Amino acid sequence: MRSSIVRKLGIAILTAATLAWSVPLPAAATPEDGSFEEDDRKAAVQTPHSLPVADVLIDAGHGGIDSGTHYKDILEKDINLAIARKLYLILKSRGVRAVLNRTGDYALSDDNRWHRASRHMRDLSQRGSLTEEIEAKLFVSIHVNWSPKGKKRGPLVIHQKEGRSALLASFIQQALNRQQNTRRLPQSGGKYYVMNRIKVPSVIVETGFLNHDGDRALLTSPRGQTRVAAAIAEGIFFYRCIAP
């Protein structure tokens, strides 16, 4: 079983390198607040009593009282949401059923009042439970990184200790590496609660380091956010082409 996963991952990496030159990048899409909210409103009207079904559940990390990391007045939660919204629109424009777990600045822990634990654990539990409630096929969590000395840069994709998640992570990492001219490798994230809780292929995408000048300029620019979202989408498209 292990050797089969390793062989498949090796084939996937070679396939991604080949496809990168033959498959066009997703069209850039920058969401306007009005169009985004109107899209959600129409979906709610069409299915008022049912939960959506998702090919991809997009997790906009943090939110509300939980701002994540920050640099002066720049908050991680705002960057996560901006990139997540752009990813949502790019995926939908290519026919992928995507769902955002938050569309504004609020904490998911507010929706979880049955979990008798800390606010942080309620938040994580809510994020994990959503994949089961909406029957998501993939879980992609958007975050921003931070390094103690401010010298690290570039994206990092963290995955479940499981073959399909590693495959998804490799595609997204390669797409982001090409976009940001880096050479990072994805990493296993067994210590993360959400990674252990979710039962579908799952990754955490650390889109860059907020305390690195170059990364921060990319992540706070609408154009840069769209480029990051397009790279993540590219990795998802490649995975969906070969995944069982």
The contacts of residue 83 (CB under 8 Å, 6+ apart) are 60, 142, 207, 219, 225, 228, 229, 232
Residue range 77-90: mean pLDDT, rounded:
97
Q: What percent of the chain has pLDDT over 70?
A: 67
Q: pLDDT band at residue 140, thresholds of 50, 70 and 90?
A: very high
pLDDT at 65: 85
- Better pLDDT: 74 or 128: 74
C-alpha to C-alpha distance for 115 and 232, rounded to whole angstroms: 32
pLDDT at 131: 64
Each residue of 170-193: pLDDT tens digit? 999 999 999 999 999 999 987 776
DSSP assignment letter at 111: G
pLDDT at 169 over 50: yes
pLDDT at 227 over 60: yes
pTM here is: 0.75
Window from 43-47, 129-133, 149-153 with minimum mean pLDDT: 43-47
pLDDT at 76 over 60: yes
pLDDT at 214 over 90: yes
Range list of H helices, the chain: 2-19, 33-46, 76-93, 119-133, 163-180, 193-197, 213-219, 222-242
